[in-house]
Amino acid sequence: MTIKLPLENCKNIINIRGLSIDRKKKILIFNHNIGKFKFGQIMRMLTKKVDIDGNIHCSYCGRILRADEIYYNRIYPKEVGGIKIPQNLLLTCKRCNNNKGNMMTKFEYLQFINSNKKQKLELKAKVKESIEFYRKEMAYKIPKNWIEYVNIEQEEIKTSLVKLNNNKLKFEKEFYDKYKYLTTPIVINSQKYLLDGVEKYKLARKQKLNNIPVVIIENLKIV
């Protein structure tokens, strides 16, 4: 399946240079001749929701947040394949963002903050063990219906929007050498533009991998 970005309550996203919304067709449009594509910034803006009382609350502890107090926490952490899309991001305060770390569920985190010191250490050890289990099994914790597989030898993936980070590429290579799979799926749109994960894509090409995991965003068009 493909994933649709939520385009409700996203007036502020128009402030990103090169980005616009076709509200009739319900698609996000990025003109790469006008601005620089910033995937993370766009995903954060789409995640930002205002509650019914006009305030923004931490998704974990419920504290009202000022604009400069907002953090974006991955529901499924990067350690188990969590990607930066609104379906995997929550608004949080700094304390909850830091404390949740790589815990894999909201239940785990709520259990953690209501535990004593010994119980917290035990829970952290359990989380670490779970993550290592998933990694050794070459498995992602994210919903399976988010992921498709693309043969990059047959499909032309367009990489013109993204810039390679050599430090990230080094990390990806070290991870692949140890676990034999990519840290997270790459993100593309229906036009086969690479939106996020260029280091993973370059590594996959170098390792001559064929079917690689991708998350496809349906309603983001590049013009």
Domain ranges of the chain: 11-136, 144-218
Whose structure tokens read 């050890």? 125
* Alpha-helical runs (H) found in the chain: 39-47, 94-100, 106-113, 117-136, 166-179, 198-206
- CA neighbor of 93 nearest in space, from 144, 50, 48, 58: 58
Identity (one letter) of the amino acid at 16? I
The pTM of this model reads: 0.91
For 108, half-sphere exposure in the C-beta direction (CA atoms, 13 angstrom radius) is 19
* Residue 207 in tokens: 């390792």
Determine the pLDDT at residue 134: 87
- Backbone φ and ψ for 174, nearest 5 degrees, come out as -65, -40
How far apart are the C-alpha atoms of 194 and 12, rounded to whole Å?
24
Q: How confident is the model at residue 13 (pLDDT cuts 50, 70, 90)?
A: low
Alpha carbon 165 to its chain's center: 17
* Residue 198 in tokens: 């260029």
Provide mean pLDDT across the span 21-28.
Answer: 89
Identity (one letter) of the amino acid at 38? K
Confidence check: pLDDT of 50 > 80: no
Determine the pLDDT at residue 144: 93
Report the topology of domain 144-218. Answer: 3.90.1530
* Residue 52 in tokens: 């019914």
Handedness of CA 155, 156, 162, 166 (dihedral sign): positive
pLDDT tens digit string along 77-135?
999 999 999 999 999 999 999 888 888 777 888 888 889 999 989 988 998 998 999 89
Residue 83 CB partners (closer than 8 Å, separation 6+)? 74, 142, 184, 185, 187, 196, 197, 215
Burial (Cβ within 10 Å: 0-12, 13-18, ≥19) of residue 73: buried
Confidence check: pLDDT of 9 > 90: no
Confidence check: pLDDT of 10 > 80: no
pLDDT tens digit string along 181-203?
999 999 999 999 999 999 999 99
Helix, strand, coil distribution of the chain in percent, nearest 5: 40, 20, 45
DSSP SS3 for 79: helix
